[in-house]
Amino acid sequence: MTTPEPFSVRQFAGVLRRRRLVLAQIVVIVGLAAFVLGLRAPSRYEASAVLLTGGAKTITLPGLGDAQRLSPGTAARLVRTREVAERVRHAVADDLSVDELLGRISTSANADGFTTVTARGGSGSEAALLANAFANQFVALRAETPYVGLRKAVRAIQRQLRGSSGPERAALLSQLGQLKTAAALPAADVEVVDPAVAPGSPSSPNLLFAIVAGLGLGLLLGVAVALALEALDPRIKTFSELQRLVRAPQLAGIPADIFQRPLRGRKEPRVLRAARHYPGAFERLRTSLLVFNAERDLKTVLVTSPRDEREGKTTVAGNLAISLAKVGLRVCAVDADLRGPRLARHFGLADTPGLAEVLEGERLDVALQSFPIPGLPSFLNGNGRGPKAHDLYVLSAGERNASPAELLASEKMHEVLGELEQRFDVVVMDCAPVLAEADALPLLTRASGTLLVVRLFHTPREAAARAAQVIENANGGLLGVVGTGVPARELREEGYGPWPVTQREASRVA
């Protein structure tokens, strides 16, 4: 089991790039939802009244103690009391409960002695009315508070005057006069310095803020969804991930669009189309194969994949055969996938007669088909050794058979392979996927080695690792791994190339 590499910034960027469509959709949907909710939300207005605390002078009277100075913080808390709210409800808002009134009020204070009372309402006039009502009722409550003590003191002195005489009565009369003087002075320690006015525009909803917040939330949600989808996706998505899964030489990366590039101008076989637009991909595959396996006698090379034909094994097998033939080797490409033959169609050749007919008694020379390779130097044209060096020979699969596994495991198949190895320098065999069918297993030990073709964004991780294990367990000699469907960006980052060539350059190659 491979150890996953730490998640890097480059991998994170790759996830966002691959999931950019999902990410963009979520951002747009959440942003539009926030905009619609903002439009449908009811308008709210805010108005504020400002109070100055500690502005009135207080008088210290004998026997009444010292007056306490009101701080802005204390005033901010006292404004939002149920006593003040009850006075406001009786004064201006008898249709609202005390709790509803308190829910519409907020207060704040600063060190300069100012307390701000902010009210919210369905209209600007309603908000201003509530803010001023709370401010005025709080001022009135603070102004009434000292008179409670004054009235108690007056009643106490009046009781004492009934039984007093002489100097004591004179002193009591003097205190009574001072209390009446204090009652005539302003006693409130807070005043309204800036009444609330009705605002002209609502404070909420703020459409700009709603859109920005929606886009931000959508981005976070989109990133989370992209990471979740990436974690749940079992497919191999990067060439470096393939390198960690399969411990074998990474011979080449085949570009992603090599399987989708449309034909232009005249019709041509698919193998030539691939070689025309991406010559460097298969040249690198050929060179890597020969260099990494220089000590092996590569007479028969099997090309297979883990699960199905869409992984690109036939394209790799055909173009590898062409690339080997271009350096002067006598090459035969054999379609050994008797259940799903495709190699002949890639070369534009006939399906029959082929390998199935040869295994049933047909002569090999009758089934071999010549495929001329354009664009070879003149010194490679013929060397007097059997087939011409500038021609690639193809042995198609032939008619479909009910028992392909038995045919490929027969002694006759060994004899055919021996004859092909005598007549050609290299035999490239396109075999059935190793996990889908058991047809290729008898050929693994007979061949010089096996190439495993894995397609990014298609082959599951487990399938690639298990296919490599099957080849190793069968002593098939894993020559290396070829990654198909690799994005051009990753090919450049990994240093594998190739760069796509222009139409003019492609015509020179051809």
Please name which of 52, 45, 101, 100 lies closest in space to residue 76, comparing C-alpha atoms.
52
Indicate whether this model's pTM tops 0.75. no
Task: State the helix-helix crossing angle for 9-18 and 207-232, rounded to 10 degrees.
Answer: 100
Looking at the DSSP bridge assignments, the partners of residue 370 are 393
Cα dist. 448→297, 332, 335, 445, 478 in Å? 7, 15, 17, 8, 9
Which ranges constitute the DSSP H helices of 265-337? 270-277, 279-292, 313-326
For 38, residues 6+ apart whose C-beta sits below 8 A from its C-beta are 205, 206, 207, 210, 211
Q: How is residue 48 written in tokens?
A: 């504020």
Q: What is the mean pLDDT of residues 448-458?
A: 91
Tell me the pLDDT tens digit for each residue of 54-91: 654 444 444 444 445 677 888 888 888 888 889 898 88
Q: What percent of the chain has pLDDT over 90?
A: 22
Domain boundaries, the chain: 9-41+207-231, 45-194, 236-502
Q: How is residue 409 written in tokens?
A: 């495991």
d(CA 470, CA 456): 20
Task: Give the highest mean pLDDT range of 25-29, 95-99, 272-276, 372-376.
Answer: 25-29
Tell me the pLDDT tens digit for each residue of 199-238: 888 877 778 888 899 999 999 999 999 888 888 888 888 7
- Confidence (pLDDT) at 306: 92
Mean pLDDT (the chain) is 80
- Confidence (pLDDT) at 143: 74
* Domain 236-502, second-level architecture: 3-Layer(aba) Sandwich (3.40)
